A and B are shown apart, each in its own frame.
Chain A
Amino acid sequence: MKKLTINEEIFLIAIWHLRGDAYGVRIREQIKDLSGQTLLLGTLYNTLDNLVKKGYVSTKKGEPTNQRGGHNKVFYRITERGSAALNEARELHNRLWENIPDNAFGGI
């Protein structure tokens, strides 16, 4: 399986945090909390589409609301494949950072 890019990781983790409430606006907010990045809506959806294409997430339509000008929400859920990818990513990170002391790169 191909390794997750760091952006994909951030997205997947954000989606995981949101459980059942993972739609556009919320995901964007969550990513802001997690990484400090403010995404443009266009970028947000491009990456989400890529994730869907790669099979890491699946979508589900929600109900339209007035506030959304009559458009419906699309909820994102992590798939099994996505979960597997996340596990691999975690393992990789742990292995990488395992034996490196806190001040190995100077500073703090």
Chain B
Amino acid sequence: MDQDLIITKIQAPPLRPQLVQRPRLIHQLDKGLRRGCGLALVSAPAGFGKTTLVRQWLHETGCTFAWFSCDEEDNDPFRFWRYLTAALQTTGKGVGGAVESALCSPEPLQLEALIAILINDITTLQTPVALILDDFQTVNAAPIYRSLNLLLDHAPPNLWIVVITRADPPLSLGRRRAGMNLVEIRAADMRFTNEEATRFLQASAGLDLSSEAIDELHKRTEGWVVGLQLAALSLQRREDKLRFVRSFAGDDSFVMDYLVEEVLQQQPPHVRDFLLQTSILGRMCASLCDALTGRNDGQLMLSSLVQSNIFLEPLDNCRVWCRYHRLFSELLRHRLHLSMGLEQVMFLHRRASEWFERNGYVSEAIAHSLEADDIARAADLVERYGLAMVFRCGAIVMSSWMKRLPEDIIRSRPLLCAIHAWGLLFALAPPELVENRLTDAENGRHVVPDEGSGDVPRNEILSHVATIRSYLARIYAKDPKAAIELSFPALGHFSESSHYLRSAVLINRGLSYLMLGNIAESKRAFIEVEELTQASGNYYFALISLHRQAYIASRQGRLHEAASICRKALRTIIVPALRKGEPVPFAGAIYVQLGSVLLEWNDLEEAERALTKGLELLRPYRGTRIQVEGHAAYARLKQARGDLAGAINLLEQAKPLWHGAEPYARSMQTRLRLLHEGYDPTLLDLDEVGVKELWPDSEHDGQAEAIDIDIEGGWRHAEQLNLVRLLIAKARASSAVQRDAELGPLISSLERRIQIVREFGLAAWTQELLLQKALALSAMGDFIQALASLKRALAQAQSGGYTRIFVDEGPPMARLLSWAFEKGAMPKYTARLLAAFPKSELPPEEDLGDLGLQPELCDPVSMREIEVLELIAEGLSNQQIAERLVISLGTVKVHTHNMFGKLRVHSRTQAVAKAKALGILSSP
């Protein structure tokens, strides 16, 4: 659980013994919710016992519940949903885990997606879950009402939402009332009846009053619960009870005012002082009270006041934190201002602020220093803790602190401007806003040096500015060169120990190099980040670094390395964190990357497991590039299973999420249709397109300055490949003359592109292009050249274990491969590839018969089994293998068993020996 969450907000107030039972109301609440009303509204002014009632109901009904006490700060939608999700997590039933991770990361989110996930999690529970929103009148932001209405409208029947409030919220109450979907308990219901008042007053320390007296009290307070409670308290200490009743009844001042005055008068002076001084606190504990009063009887005081059952409510079961009933604290605070001068009140706030800071509660420390009118101190606090907050994924929280500071104060402190700029960047604010703050940071000067804040060296400020500008350059201006240039001065002045900041600079640098196709530098940057994160323990940066390293490895054709990096990430970071229930943003990306490699190895079951898990973790990240990659991989998985219609459908369903990647989605669908239905002129609905449309950047003398190999670059590459496939298919369907005319230039274009891509070290892309070249040549009838290209591809692809790039090309590739096998080109690899094709796509039996495919290899050993075999050869036990590959021990045993069958051996030594003899394992 995040330490920045105020735990008491999501704990139900402890159950307290009630002097008056209210079975009628509890029954009304219970019956309504069980009958299927999704929403219960408990709406009445302060002091009617709303919270107590709901708490009592929860106790009696015994259902699972989540409690969320709202306050004014929760008007930020992300903070609100973060607390709501955290509350749901306290049920311990695994609700909202993925959401919590997502809320911690700076990736763009949409609330609708989050809500859908919560709804899903709750639905799977099936047993009732009550969600209590207390003090809901403090929330009044329209986006929150909208999102709650969304939740209410789609809530499963086992979710019971109870809103406790002093003012009716705009949650379509009229509609729900009319549809009988609302349980309402209002002030009129909650007033004590005369009978209840009688019972209460009699039970309160055995007050023995006449029925006339009770009548008077009941009439004067109008059954207002808190009024009766205070009256009872006063009466307990009074000798002449009747006199009190008469003068109270005869007075017409505001009830609470009168009674509170009464009660305070009765307290000994030190108690009175305690009550007044601590009234400024939203919540309190013994140590904090002592800090305010300057005494050390805080614990004693709190214990005895809690006993009285009116003044203080405990907030947790350990009785560490409590708070005044809101109404009471308002009144106390009023009296505090009357009895003490403003100066003294502010002094109390200052003491409170210091205590909160000392004990690690920065938000409250800031709030109190603002109440103390000590803006300088509030600014100091933001300077001190703001950056750490942003990098711990609390950009929203930090922004809320910043909003409370006056603009001219922010401008006069360059570090504050820099921190604010970071927050804006992480919150994906418009770049102009970020740039404005950066200019402020550059121009700002310390107007008045304060005692609290040391002078921040100007160089450090400039480093912040350069780093943020480098992010803006890459993300918004799409100018990676500028981004890289900025990264050097940025690193210059950050001290060795600021790991977050150095990592941030390096990540941006690495991503910028990817946009330029510079693999070596990109890799170097990400490896440096990994080293830094080992010291700082920041998951987010570590996973980004590992994900990118795996990504780069796979672009280089090093699939084993890619898989091994992903597994390292799983083993060392993701799995332990998930087990501890900690949020792991970006974990989905690792699963997707691993799944893609497994898919390429044709290990469809494992690939499906990884991709499913990845997509599940990515659900809250609607429309991000990683999520698009996940869906694309899943579509290819369906394709590999032969479910072409399913793959097309999946892409169609996912399209609304593919904001900015629609051309990619369409391109994939077209390709699938080509495979499914064969060539059709309408697929190429670009009449005039010719070879000229392909790779415009490679037309400059066969040189390219840069190739974007980041994710979007990968999409462009895939789209181009699909276009090539269409052109080849089109050519096949044309006359012989036309075919040659079309394919000739296409092949030249491919060859030029291959040169370029090869120079950038992109083995994966080189292979794919070589295959297309081979297919184009064979379509033209030039089998010799086709074979030559194919052999180049095979030679390169073998070490990575590539399988699907061949199989996905269908029958034309099968024909080429069998021809290659016949000619003796890399027979073992070729034979294994052929065995991976569906039987229907292979050339007829009689052609294959001559090819002398070894019977042992007809049921070939899968890539996963080879991995296991390699580890066996290294001497690892099954348990060690299970840990290395992050799979279960049972799965390892299944693999070895299958493998023994395929190789027709009975022992590990035999298996290794035979595999080496067959060339499946390379001999040393």
A-B complex is real: no
Q: Which residues of chain B have a CB within 8 Å of any CB of chain A? A: none
Q: Which residues of chain A have a CB within 8 Å of any CB of chain B? A: none
